[in-house]
């Protein structure tokens, strides 16, 4: 039986200092993102905004990837993934700092008035573009420092590094307002407490750039699939229309997530009247489950195939969403944990599937197109979800389940390359 131990042995046998530094970056950036993920909706609520505004903000964040994803991918292929990572990380961290300083800030030019919310949307768009650039650049960078046969395992380990630390970030994020509030002399659910707590997002974001400094990628694992020196015949370029077809599953996958994930904290608070710390604990378990899923994807793909595992893990996400309709916290929480495990499993496997389908000179572009497709689905769904909820998440959960099924079917039937190169 394939075990997690075998995956770690593969990491230790094939890993280089560059791999470990990329993983460290993933931990720090994942910590930053997870704190923002749990606190930002609460921050918006403390400013007096409702779920519809939260959905709209999530759409803005993802639409940045839709509009700028392809240019970002092309820049990665021309400039290098490592340089794009520096740019993305610094913009992400500074963007959050600016956003948190914009509370109540607006201005007018003649008869044109820019409200505080509009200004926040503009900055959040920039943060979304920076997030897109950071996550997109990691995949081709990691591909340069590992062997092709290790992609599924290493992509899973990298995803696990980012997501499992999310459990820590969720606990930290859920606890920070209560810790900060007495020091500031305010309520734990007040806007000043949330704002101050969220400055940790910018701090950890900046720290995520440190491990990447000085990484050398030239010549690493580019000569052969088995670690030798025999050259590998390059794959032919994939036509643009085929690339568009190959990233279609990402749209439905993003749509499935966008229907619910942006509102996961609000779901547990509204449906089960949980406190911020209790919500944080629930989401911490979900992040841990997602990390575990990322870890087991590599071994499972070796036994059943990358495509097969990626397709089935998406399709099986559907029943977990439907179970969350049941108004019983243990069932809803367990179902969401299983859903996160499946999503953590499929994400890196789909990246590996794309990397073995396209030639190296198209990896940045293909990764960005996949992210664009996913972001478009997420943006459309989060806007729609904010309008559909009406004090109930039932229709949202059903639509999400259907989208998971469609995405899984497409992964199973589209012309990906199953043989590693």
Q: What is the 3 state secondary structure string of 20-84?
A: HHHHHHHHHHHHHHHHHHHHHHHHHHHCCCCHHHHHHHHHHHHHHHHHHHHHHHHHHHHHCHHHH
Does this model's pTM top 0.85? My answer is no
Least confident of 38-52, 171-185, 210-224, 311-325: 210-224
pLDDT-derived band at 3 (thresholds 50, 70, 90) equals low
pLDDT at position 311, please?
93
Under a CB-based contact definition with an 8 Å cutoff, are residues 338 and 317 in contact? no
- Vertex 129 angle, CA 126 and 130, to 5°: 90
Ramachandran category for residue 218: left, alpha or beta (phi over 0 → left; psi -120 to 50 → alpha): beta
Structure tokens at 182: 């007495």
- Looking at per-residue confidence, does 349 or 322 come out higher? 322
Mean pLDDT for the stretch of residues 38-49? 88
In percent, the amount of the chain with pLDDT more than 90 equals 31
- Residue 113 sits at φ, ψ, to 5 deg, of -110, 130
The per-residue pLDDT of the chain, averaged, comes to 83
What is the gyration radius of the CA atoms in the chain, in angstroms? 21
Mean pLDDT for the stretch of residues 288-317? 87
Most confident of 42-46, 112-116, 400-404: 400-404
* Distance set, CA 392 to CA 51, 190, 327, 410 (Å): 12, 25, 11, 30
pLDDT higher than threshold 50 for residue 181: yes
pLDDT at position 283, please?
83
Structure tokens at 98: 């600016």
Dihedral angle sign, alpha carbons of residues 48, 50, 52, 58: positive
- Vertex 261 angle, CA 260 and 262, to 5°: 95
Mind listing the pLDDT tens digit for each residue in 130-177?
998 888 888 778 777 777 666 666 777 777 777 778 778 888 888 899
Most confident of 49-53, 127-131, 226-230, 301-305: 127-131
Structure tokens at 112: 């044109």
pLDDT at position 220, please?
46
Mind listing the pLDDT tens digit for each residue in 260-294?
988 888 888 888 888 888 888 888 888 888 888 88
β-pair type (107-109, 112-114): antiparallel
CB atoms within 10 A of CB 234: 10
| Domain map (residue ranges) of the chain | 17-213+238-413
Instruction: Name the CATH superfamily for 17-213+238-413.
Output: MFS general substrate transporter like domains (1.20.1250.20)
């Amino acid at each position: 039986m394939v075990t997690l131990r075998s995956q770690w042995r593969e990491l230790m046998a094939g890993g280089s200092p560059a791999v470990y530094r990329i993983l460290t970056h993933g931990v720090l950036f994942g910590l930053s993102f997870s704190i923002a993920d749990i606190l930002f909706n609460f921050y918006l609520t403390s400013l007096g905004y409702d779920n519809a505004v939260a959905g709209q903000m999530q759409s803005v964040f993802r639409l940045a990837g839709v509009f700028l994803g392809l240019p970002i991918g092309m820049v990665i292929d021309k400039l290098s993934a490592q340089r794009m990572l520096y740019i993305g990380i610094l913009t992400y961290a500074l963007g959050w700092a600016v956003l948190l300083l914009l509370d109540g800030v607006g201005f007018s030019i003649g008869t044109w008035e820019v409200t505080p919310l509009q200004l926040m949307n503009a900055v959040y768009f920039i943060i979304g573009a920076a997030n897109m650039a950071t996550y997109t650049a990691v995949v081709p960078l990691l591909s340069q420092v590992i062997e092709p046969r290790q992609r599924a395992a290493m992509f899973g380990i990298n995803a696990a590094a980012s997501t499992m630390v999310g459990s820590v970030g969720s606990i930290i994020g859920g606890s920070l307002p209560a810790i900060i509030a007495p020091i500031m002399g305010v309520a734990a659910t007040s806007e000043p407490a949330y704002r101050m707590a969220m400055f940790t997002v910018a701090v950890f974001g900046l720290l995520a750039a440190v491990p990447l400094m000085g990484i050398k990628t030239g010549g690493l694992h580019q000569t052969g699939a088995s670690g030798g020196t025999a050259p590998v015949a390059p794959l032919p370029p994939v036509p643009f229309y085929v690339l568009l077809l190959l990233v279609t599953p990402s749209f439905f996958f993003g749509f499935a997530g966008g229907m619910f994930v942006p509102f996961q904290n609000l779901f547990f608070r509204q449906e089960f009247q949980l406190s911020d710390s209790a919500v944080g604990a629930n989401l911490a378990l979900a992040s841990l489950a997602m990390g575990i899923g990322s870890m087991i994807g590599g071994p499972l793909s070796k036994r059943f195939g990358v495509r097969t595992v990626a397709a089935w893990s998406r399709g099986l996400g559907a029943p977990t969403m439907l179970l969350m309709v049941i108004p019983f916290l243990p069932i809803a929480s367990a179902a969401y944990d299983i859903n996160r495990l499946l999503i953590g499993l499929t994400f890196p496997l789909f990246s590996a599937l794309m990397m073995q389908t396209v030639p190296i000179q198209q990896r940045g572009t293909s990764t960005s197109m996949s992210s664009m497709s996913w972001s478009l689905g997420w943006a459309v769904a989060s806007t729609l979800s904010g309008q559909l909820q009406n004090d109930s998440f039932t229709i949202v959960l059903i639509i999400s389940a259907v989208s998971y099924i469609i995405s899984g079917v497409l992964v199973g039937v589209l012309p990906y390359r199953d043989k590693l190169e």
